[in-house]
Amino acid sequence: MDIVVTIPKKEAANIEKEERWAEENKYTTARCFWKVSGVPKKLKRGDRVYFVENGMITSYNEFMYCDWDLTCDVTGREWPGLNLVMDIPAVILKKPVPMKGFRGFRYIERIE
């Protein structure tokens, strides 16, 4: 089952950098990470992780698996603890969906 998370404003620049890198390196396997406090039990490989940005669900990445203590190859940032590992680049929604930001994650029905 798909989930939705909120992008904090301070993370927007890092996400843009990762997305630009993924577009420029299309033939390289690229992954991004999202720190979570616990494993979303209903989330399975191939499900979507949607992102709320400025009050709208704007995009999603395909979930691959969970892993611990990762380092981003693009930004060099350390991601201690449990992380969702997803393919990049993100898929941009044709019709963004309004949703207020929140902490943690929520299960959601598939969009588009």
Q: What is the pLDDT along the chain (112 residues), one digit of tens a residue?
A: 999 999 887 777 777 777 777 777 776 667 889 999 999 999 999 999 999 999 999 999 999 999 999 998 777 889 999 999 998 888 989 999 999 989 889 999 999 7
pTM of the model: 0.86
**pLDDT of 82:** 96
Contact between residue 8 and residue 53 where contact means Cβ atoms under 8 Å apart? no
- Give the other-Cβ count within 10 Å of 55's Cβ: 12
The pLDDT value given to residue 14: 75
1 token code pair: 């089952």
Q: The domain at 3-107 falls in which architecture?
A: Roll (2.30)
At 8 the pLDDT is: 80
Q: What is the residue extent of each domain of the chain?
A: 3-107
DSSP for 13-43, please give it.
HHHHHHHHHHHHTTTS--EEEEE-SS--TT-
Cα 30 from chain centroid (whole Å): 13
| pLDDT score recorded for residue 27 | 64
